[in-house]
Chain A
Amino acid sequence: MFNISTQALFSQLLVGLINGSFYALLSLGLAVIFGMLNIINFAHGALYMMGAFCAYFLLSIAGLGYWWALVLSPLIMGAFGMFLERTMLHRLAGLDHLYGLLLTFGLALIFQGLFQNYFGSSGLPYAIPQELTGAQNLGFMFLPNYRAWVVVFSLAVCLATWFAIEKTKLGAYLRAATENPSLVRAFGVNVPRMITLTYGFGVGLAALAGVLAAPINQVRPLMGGDLIIVVFAVVVIGGMGSIMGSIVTGFALGLVEGLTKVFYPEASNTVVFVIMALVLLVKPAGLFGRTA
């Protein structure tokens, strides 16, 4: 069991870090959305998938490459998210949280079903941008440039988001509006607009993760369906109270999953759920959760 080559160990750890980046970006978006809208966005996985498809369409229709997609896809999807918030989610304000979950679940079924109808279940290839092809020889392993970029860039985006929410004036408004929206409104802040923008931002993060994933996992209609459930477990483990908590938990669980693939591959699909069960037994509010 322990005679694993360091090569295999490090390459699985890298895969784990990559998955962790997606977990972090997605659970961060979920946490930000939940904070403002009190909605668990079940459509997050489908929107991540649509972010990847957006990159694919930008290339195949408009001829715009990876770097354009990295900017445009989150903006386009973010605008789409704001449209969803204005037309539908917005109407659920004041109702039980469950309805938000059900509505976004319905949206996820629609998006996923539509893309499956037109693109089947197989993957569409999306090339790694020229600048990031190749790999570095680190001595103990080969590190593909693109994978290193994904990890570093995701981490940077996560930290920038953390900084924007925890350290800037806009972030202070946002946190205040999360705590007490009516009081913040009384100070003249346009809270409904902030809610719309927040949802758009969360969706943009999901789309960004989708673009980053496109060259690694191919563009598939089902790429978000199962991922979102793992991200839910990540959110339960971390607790949604803390931005940094979502980031740390996301990366950490990706690593744990990678390690499991090396030492006990049969459990690699389920390890996150097992950890969730253990955390619930020991610390029901989640590792970074504030209240039960």
Chain B
Amino acid sequence: MTGAAITTIPAPGAGLNTEMKVFAVMAAVLALIGPTGIVYPYFIMQALCFALFACAFNLLIGFVGLLSFGHAMFLGTAGYASAHAAKVWGVAPEVSILFGAAASALLGVLTGLLAIRRQGIYFSMITLALAQMIYFFYLQAKFTHGEDGIQGVPQGKMFGLLDLTRPMTLYFVVLAVFLLAFLLIYRIINSPFGEILKAIRENEPRAISLGYKADQYKLAAFVLSAALAGLAGALKALVAQNASLTDAHWNMSGEVVLMVLVGGLGTIYGPVLGAFVIIAMQQYLAGIGQWVLVAQGVIFVACVLAFRKGVIGVLAERLKIQL
């Protein structure tokens, strides 16, 4: 049903090499650009967190055809959970990050069970409404400190060795987590499990008639996406040293949709590029009031009306390769 505008990914083997070459280039560029300081490393780290968030979101919309309009709840939940664990319980960063991702995965199970009971447009509205409920919960809960958020989150030493207060160490840890998670998503998409997800996206009744329990696969994909979005949220809390309500607000849910739309729905590199573009745009427009919202809105409208394949989608089509 969503197939018309979404690039289909063929069986593994066809374009594997180009994809891995691009991955090597991406990893090399990111590893080299940080230490040179051409671009502010904090900006890249932030963009990488959003890129991971967007990739997690894309796993659902691009490969299962489910548009979640509430993914901010996973980003926000993991941010709060990991920040609380690191600051109040004083656990090591690797533990707080995993705790954050686990909290989001748990939330993913609960909300996923409800949301997959409806399809299409209702799925989007339900995830949006559930996310708004979670937002109000965080607004009122004591441990989130309301409008202030959890500030001054300690970064600590990862595995007792890597001192994350040193910017370059933090940079390479964030980069490593991002690259590993990216490979994991790539692996999921190209696994037999991923193929079944795509079959469900293309024709759910047929997948069911072939004996696949579509709901279980959808839930599994939803929880995976939630956990990976949580990983992004926990990482972001560690980088920014705070967890705030902004990350749980519906604006954030919209932003991640925009990132993926700009980069290319259902492409592998689209979310990464989209995240960098949108975060860069926010940096430039940050000083001038609400024009960021207007600009985002205009990009949304332009993409939907004239540019539904996104940058990477168009590029892949022109070059006749998988990206």
Contacts and interface: CB of A to CB of B under 8 A. Distances in A.
B308 interface: yes
Contacts of A292: 118
Contacts of B143: none
Interface string B54-80: 000000010000010100000000000
B90 interface: no
A284 interface: yes
Given A109-B294, A284-B117, A96 B289 contact: no
Interface in B126-152: 126, 128-130, 132-133, 136-137, 139-140
B121 A280 contact: no
A284 to B, nearest CB: 4
A131 interface: no
A178 B202 CA distance: 25
Contacts of A98: 2, 61, 67, 120-121, 124
Contacts of B300: 102-103, 105-107, 109
B125 interface: yes
Interface stretch (A9-17, A63-71, A195-203, A268-276): A268-276
Given A229-B129, A236-B125, A99 B308 contact: yes
Nearest to B130: A273
Range class of the A interface residue count: 35 or more
B254 interface: yes
A113 B282 CA distance: 14
A277 interface: yes
B172 interface: no
A292 B2 CA distance: 19
A155 interface: no
Interface in A96-131: 96-99, 101-103, 105-114, 116-117
B235 to A, nearest CB: 27
A31 interface: no
Interface in B266-323: 289-294, 296-301, 303-305, 308
B193 interface: no
Nearest to B265: A98
Contacts of A270: 133, 136-137
A288 interface: no
A165 interface: no
Chain A contact residues: over half helix, strand or loop, or mixed? helix
Contact of A103 (B117, B125, B296, B305): B305
Contact of A113 (B114, B124, B250, B291): B291
B293 A109 contact: yes
B245 interface: no
A207 interface: no
A106 B296 contact: yes
11 contacts: A92-B304, A96-B1, A98-B67, A99-B304, A101-B124, A105-B257, A106-B303, A107-B297, A109-B293, A113-B297, A233-B132
Interface of A: 34, 40, 88, 91-92, 95-99, 101-103, 105-114, 116-117, 226, 229-230, 232-233, 235-236, 266, 269-270, 272-274, 276-277, 280-281, 284, 292
Interface of B: 1-2, 4-5, 61, 67, 69, 114, 117-118, 120-122, 124-126, 128-130, 132-133, 136-137, 139-140, 250, 254, 257, 261, 289-294, 296-301, 303-305, 308
9 pairs of A and B residues whose beta carbons are closest in the complex: A106-B300, A113-B293, A109-B297, A110-B297, A273-B133, A113-B294, A116-B290, A233-B129, A106-B301
